Structure 1
Amino acid sequence: MIADRYRARADAFEAKIAQVREDQWDNPSPCAKWTARGVVDHIIDMHGVMLGRQIPRTDSPLADFREARRQVEAALGSDRAKSEVSTPGGPMTLEDHIDQVVSDDLVLHGWDLARATGQDETIPAADVERLWAAATSVPPELMERFRTPGAFGPGIEVYGAEVPVPEDAPLQDRLLGYVGRDPLSKTV
């Protein structure tokens, strides 16, 4: 299940990378400090964090993501997937860590990349519901830490400040606002 969820999300993210035109890589993203390329670089970096190593880089964001993905899928398909790893949230299996961090990042940062490059921003309903349930179940004191830049290490910000979104807005918009994106703004 975890490997299948990762694979589906990686397929969607890879398709978005493949649609980015060369002149769009420097477009600003909803993540204030990153361009479209910065979003992809972050995803690749997080794949490396999950595996405890750096992912080699080329001049091709698509090729680099494919290599990162290959390595994560290999780990998910190995005995290593069930091994315990140390995480900021406490010990868990490697596959759970991948599922809760990089796999979820593919969804949210997929939206960022789509917004930055004018692609379809629709997040699959099942992912929206799962991420909404996960985000809103975080205790307030931990959510405050998630929203504090650097709380989990230099340069790491899990969520931004909540962006107000009408209570009757679609769940995708409410999720995005909750994790610090402005889904109602059409500019980045």
Structure 2
Amino acid sequence: MVDGVSDAVSGAGAGPGGGGDVPVDLRPAARRAAAVVTGVADGQLGDPTPCTEFAVRDLLRHIGELAVGLQRTARKEVGEGTAAAPGASSGEQLPGDWRESLPHSLADLAVAWSAPDAWTGSTQAGGITLTGTEGGLVTLDELVVHGWDLARATGQEYELDEPSLRAVHSFLAGAVTDDGEQGIFGPVVHVGADAPLLDRIVGLAGRDPGWRPPT
């Protein structure tokens, strides 16, 4: 998840969107992800997602774990809570109150990254040492891409503010190999240059923008 982050941040540059005293305001993406979470029906928890290793319930749990862990990244709480390898599972089950607890965790995540100090100095995520800016862009990327994953898996609309989309696109594009084939999440799915920005983000993240749940 965070391999190639330094190259990605170089591509993204500083100040990609209107976050006031921070490079990017994560609150719009966190609110959108929270809205998608609350729109998931109980009967969809076992359904597949564009993350082929995750069913919907697994993706929800993963989002919850990221929301907590990346708060620690923002607060520079380097240690056990930020040392797990990318994609590692804690073995925990999806909590029974996920419709309430996950949106709260996502809101807390956005608050943590609204502090200017979160974007400075060094920190850790997934066991990798990052700058604060790298950590913030990783967090935004996780919110946007997994928000799309969950929305697409559960048949929900997914729209985001332009600054968030521009920042994530620059971040992901900055990590693509010179041959244009590999990104942070694996092989790039190529879409047309005139495709919507969200589709281009999804492709850079290794997803097919046309993915739909099997019927």
Partner of residue 137, structure 1:
174
Distance, in Å, in 2 between the alignment partners of 1:38 and 1:61 is 12
The structural deviation recorded for 1:71 is: 4.2
Partner of residue 69, structure 1:
106
Deviation per CA, 1:33-91, whole angstroms, max 9, x where unpaired? 11122222112212233215399973122223134235435544668635531456644
**1:2-81 paired onto structure 2 within 5 Å:** 2=22, 5-50=25-70, 51=72, 53=81, 58-73=95-110, 75-76=112-113, 81=118
1:128 matched to 2:165? The reply is: yes
Tell me the secondary structure at the aligned position of residue 140 of structure 1.
coil
1:166 matched to 2:186? The reply is: no
The structural deviation recorded for 1:139 is: 5.7
Distance, in Å, in 2 between the alignment partners of 1:123 and 1:77 is 18
1:101 matched to 2:121? The reply is: no
Of residues 86, 92, 102 in structure 1, which corresponds to 2:131? 92
The structural deviation recorded for 1:135 is: 1.3
Distance, in Å, in 1 between the alignment partners of 2:193 and 2:114 is 41
The structure-2 alpha-carbon separation of the partners of 1:41 and 1:133, relative to structure 1 and needing over 3 Å to count, comes to same
Root mean square deviation, CA, Å: 3.3
Tell me the secondary structure at the aligned position of residue 208 of structure 2.
coil
The structural deviation recorded for 1:136 is: 1.3
Distance, in Å, in 2 between the alignment partners of 1:168 and 1:76 is 32
Number of positions where the alignment pairs a residue of Structure 1 with one of Structure 2: 174
Identify which range, 20-29 or 65-74, moves more after superposition: 65-74
Q: Is the 8 A contact 2:24 2:164 kept in 1?
A: no
Q: Show structure 2 runs of 5+ residues with no match.
A: 1-18, 83-89
Normalised by the length of structure 1, the TM-score is 0.74
Q: Show structure 1 runs of 5+ residues with no match.
A: 148-157
What amino acid sits opposite 2:58 in the alignment?
A: G
Q: Is the 8 A contact 1:165 1:177 kept in 2?
A: yes
What amino acid sits opposite 1:113 in the alignment?
A: L
Partner of residue 111, structure 1:
148
